[in-house]
A and B are shown apart, each in its own frame.
Chain A
Amino acid sequence: MSAATVTSRIPHRIRLNLRAVVGRAYPRIVGANREPSWIFFEAILPLLGIAAYVFIYQALANRVLLDPTVSAADKAATVAATNALIGSVVLGGTMIAFWLNVLWSMASQLYWEKEIGNLQLYMMAPMSRMALLGGMAVGGMFMTSVRAITTLVAGVVVFSIVLQVTNPFLLIAVFFATLVALYGMGMTLASLYLLWGREAWHLSALLEEPIFFTSGFYFPAGGLAYVGGWGRVLLTAATAIPATLGLDAMRQLVFPGAWGDKLWIFSPEVELVIILVLGVVFLVLARYALAYLELLARREGRLTSRHQ
């Protein structure tokens, strides 16, 4: 192959794969807007789940605030700490939208594509398999971001949270790095789920609530380190899930100095680096998992055909 052929092939492949990403993202972005009921079910309803934690934190704060023996300084500290706690829960609630999307729409997507009959058409197309997964991820991120922002805005307004953004650029970097790592994890899981078939459905259910807990969706995850014995082990394991460190870094950046900086895992900068590393690891894993899956599909003839 001549050098000229090589250079002319590169833009063609890139163009093809970019088009494939847009094509696959399209049904997620457009399809979601065709069912406007999602605003109620997926943006407003999650607030109810958050509300339960908010009321508990407010009730605990009220015990201090209504106590006449507590000094004004302590009361002010309690108000600030409660604001940070409630804000952490709302932030966690917005990340829940992403985690659920990764679990139910990203990880299990290839399995559903197989059941619908799309997967063999995808596998037959000349696009890169990463473009297929990338399109699913971009569509999912876009759709879920809209939902998450709606939940965040509603949460901030309803619960009167005061956010104090110290470093907006770092905050944006952490947010997007977390999304990339999270969806990279979803891309890896997508291939594994396809291998597992229907049983993967149960794994999604299994991963839902435990991850809410270990990743600290409703409380600062760093608090686990103060739980004797298993707390640190659990926290260490949870850092493999990008949402844990992403949430922790974002909370640090919008509630600086909260709880005397004792409940954070690492500094936001260190957490960003770890999230970036996780993102790269998951994307590479996804690429090889899908390549292996395709080889298996072609060899066994069982993965891309429906009902097999």
Chain B
Amino acid sequence: MSGGATTATRAEYCVVACAEAWRDAGEVLASPMGTIPMIGARLARLTFSPDLLLTDGEALLIGDVPAVGATAQVVEGWLPYRQHLALVATGRRHVMMGASQLDRHGNQNISCIGDWSRPKRQLLGVRGAPINTLNNPTSYWVPRHSPRVFVERVDMVSGVGYDRAAAAGPSASRYHRIPEVISDLGVFDFETPDRTMRLRSRHPGVTVDQIADATGFALTIPDEVPYTREPTAEELRLIREVVDPKGLREREVPA
């Protein structure tokens, strides 16, 4: 596997796109939720963001960068849930959450589908989405881009979007920021005058029409949409040999 193979898979483009979310993040906790964000955060720490803090998924900050699923050999800190929730309020964290639904303003739902009082389908509950979105940068990862996820209106606002934060006033918007949304099709941001979602880049092999068709709202699409950047040979080596030797990324985003 080492050496020659430089043709990246879709999953590997996604890993690099997720890693990029933590570029220049500084000395903050990277909280990836999902396999590919976890591989991305570890890749970022091994390359361009060495100051990132990472957890073992439980209560420890890890001092080394083991493969996904392997046990860390070095512990550099303690972060039980009560400290984790307090850390969020300090803002020294960039979380990448999942989203069962996401609208053009970045409102996210992981709580339930349908009417909240008697949901058609109960999901996780709001969990920490409200505190995350009001306190530290919150990006989103969507492994299967579809109109069922990218919707006109979410059923239960768990993570707060730009429109709701602005409407609720300065206490809500003060530390609110959604840097990026990354899906299996492309990378999105909110760098528009009205802070609605924009297509920033498409992964190689994906057309703009394909993305528009898979999105349930009108996306801002610039005239020129670049491709998501290529992984470097060293990044591919790190992904394939160090961080994810078992190829778990290909299960989350099949080729």
Asked whether A and B interact, the reply is no
* B interface residues (Cβ-Cβ under 8 A, vs A): none
